[in-house]
A = this chain, B = another copy of it.
């Protein structure tokens, strides 16, 4: 039995209580902790709609609907993992570089405590300081990136840091093992013929949504496993990977995307990989009147937790 686990929904109604993720204890500690849920309420990097700063609150709110056992992966998360809601990292809204420093510094004690962070954005610009912190702890890591955009743009209006550039910067800063990294789900109109090839030139394996739809999800999962292998990997999931029908509450939606069933199946397909960190970004509650985007995000975070728990379960069974 893990040290920290959520309030049991059978003991207290799910709408009650302070809204931490799954109503986990809100403790800023790493002691006795396997997984930390961490908010990164920063959206100054956004290029179109804004409001992802309220994303962590929205995801926490509906996460109250989640229960302890993952039936598909057959794992009871809290039998294997002690989990806390670590709260939100400090940020300075309006100032990207200040915030990058605060985010990187904020993650460090979590990693130093050998805790796996699951970070709730915030816009996608937050992944860069996350990766800086990961690299400091783990050295370069592989990236498994689910998104409708490759986010490998270069400067915009003369500036290097926006939510459209983190993965180019991560390569330039040598934070990631690009030869083991993969980008999945790109679609929609692009700036020029070179846009996706630029990502490939940086070294990423890149698969568009249309390609996944043609080849099937099993093929995709195999391709991810082949690419990543046994190296430490960080999963970055932009909610706009999913179609706007399933995730309307996001900043730069692209039609023609995945269903929630497909998204869950793909994430569950990561089982067995050596995953050392996760983020889930770009949830904008003001465009999510029925909370379905936040609910899907909470479920994907739940699958992330399940992947870790499953690995622990299997290890302890060996």
Chain A residues in the interface with B (C-beta under 8 A): 9-20, 26, 39, 41, 43-51, 53-54, 57, 60-61, 64-72, 74, 76, 85, 87-88, 90-96, 98, 156-159, 161-162, 186-193, 195-196, 208-210, 213, 243-246, 248-249, 252-253, 255-257, 259-261, 264, 286-292, 295-296, 299, 302
Contact = CB atoms under 8 A, between A and B. Distances in A.
Given A50-B50, A71-B193, 7 more contacts: A15-B41, A15-B57, A69-B195, A92-B158, A253-B295, A255-B295, A289-B290
Contact of A18 (B14, B26, B69): B26
Given A158-B92, A243-B260, A288-B290, A189 B70 contact: yes
Contacts of A9: 191
B85 A157 contact: no
Contact of A287 (B17, B41, B156, B290): B290
Contacts of A264: 255-256
A60 B15 CA distance: 14
Contacts of A286: 51, 286-287
B255 A16 contact: no
Given A156-B10, A255-B295, A244 B290 contact: yes
Contacts of A44: 44, 94
A207 to B, nearest CB: 13
Contact of A208 (B15, B71, B161): B71
A197 to B, nearest CB: 10
Contacts of A291: 248, 287
Contacts of A12: 90
Q: Is the interface of A mostly helix, strand, loop or mixed?
A: loop
Contact of A192 (B76, B91, B96): B76
A195 B65 CA distance: 16
Nearest to A161: B94
Identify the interface centre among A41, A159, A193: most chain B CB within 10 Å of its CB.
A193
Q: What 9 A-B pairs are tightest by C-beta distance, nearest first?
A: A248-B290, A67-B189, A50-B50, A244-B292, A286-B286, A255-B260, A92-B157, A16-B88, A245-B246
Contacts of A253: 65, 292, 295
B255 A243 contact: no
A223 to B, nearest CB: 19
A260 to B, nearest CB: 4
A10 to B, nearest CB: 6
Contacts of A257: 260-261
Contacts of A190: 67-69, 71
Nearest to A12: B90
Nearest to A56: B16
Nearest to A243: B260
Contacts of A74: 193
A161 B12 CA distance: 16
B48 A14 contact: yes
A95 B157 contact: yes
